[in-house]
């Protein structure tokens, strides 16, 4: 049993965002490390997700020496524009499984603080611009009325 455990020791590092914008393709990388004391020959890597679709879901590597690592670039097809759901990327390496959770959000939810802040900022600027304009016209109207009253008397 010790030999079996030694044979299947892997580490996987996910370089993927936690939040993904719906409607756009996205990419990331997996760093696969052989932590066993022996070399691995032709390990099979399978990438699975219930809703996200990778362009390639199965990889076969050549030789990976002890403590050796390799980086696998993955790109995923776009999801529908209004997708809003959590999902899990599941990577299986020679029977060992690793997971990474992601959340897919529509663009307006992901950037809502920026959009909302921008709208509030623009509304505030417009309000003060109209207020200043109104005060300016009232001041001119009063000056014109005072000027007219001075000429009439």
Q: What is the pLDDT of residues 25-45, one digit of tens each?
A: 999 999 999 999 999 999 999
Are residues 11 and 33 in contact, defined by beta-carbon separation less than 8 angstroms?
A: yes
Q: Between the CA of residue 145 and those of 139, 148, 150, what are the distances in Å?
A: 10, 5, 9
pLDDT at 116 exceeding the cut of 50:
yes
Dihedrals φ, ψ of 42, to 5°? 50, 50
pTM: 0.67
- Contact between residue 8 and residue 95 where contact means Cβ atoms under 8 Å apart: yes
Partners of 85 in the β-ladder: 104
- 3-class SS of residue 76: strand
Most confident among 52-61, 111-120, 135-144 (mean pLDDT): 52-61
pLDDT at position 124 over 60: yes
| Tens-place pLDDT, residues 69-86 | 999 999 999 999 888 999
Integer Cα distance of 64 and 45 in angstroms: 13
């Amino acid at each position: 049993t010790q030999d079996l455990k030694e044979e299947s020791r892997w580490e996987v590092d996910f370089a993927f965002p936690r939040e993904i914008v719906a409607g756009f393709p996205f990419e990331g990388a997996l760093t696969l490390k052989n932590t066993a004391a022996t070399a691995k020959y032709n390990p099979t890597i399978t990438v699975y997700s219930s809703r996200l679709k990778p362009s390639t879901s199965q990889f076969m590597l050549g030789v990976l020496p002890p403590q050796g690592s390799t980086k696998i670039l993955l790109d995923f097809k776009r999801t529908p524009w209004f997708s809003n759901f959590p999902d899990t990327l599941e990577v299986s390496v020679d029977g060992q499984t690793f997971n990474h959770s992601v959340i897919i959000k529509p663009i307006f939810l992901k950037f809502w603080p920026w959009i909302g802040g921008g709208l509030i900022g623009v509304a505030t600027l417009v309000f003060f611009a109209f207020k200043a304009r109104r005060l300016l016209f009232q001041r001119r109207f009063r000056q014109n009325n005072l000027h007219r009253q001075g000429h009439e008397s």
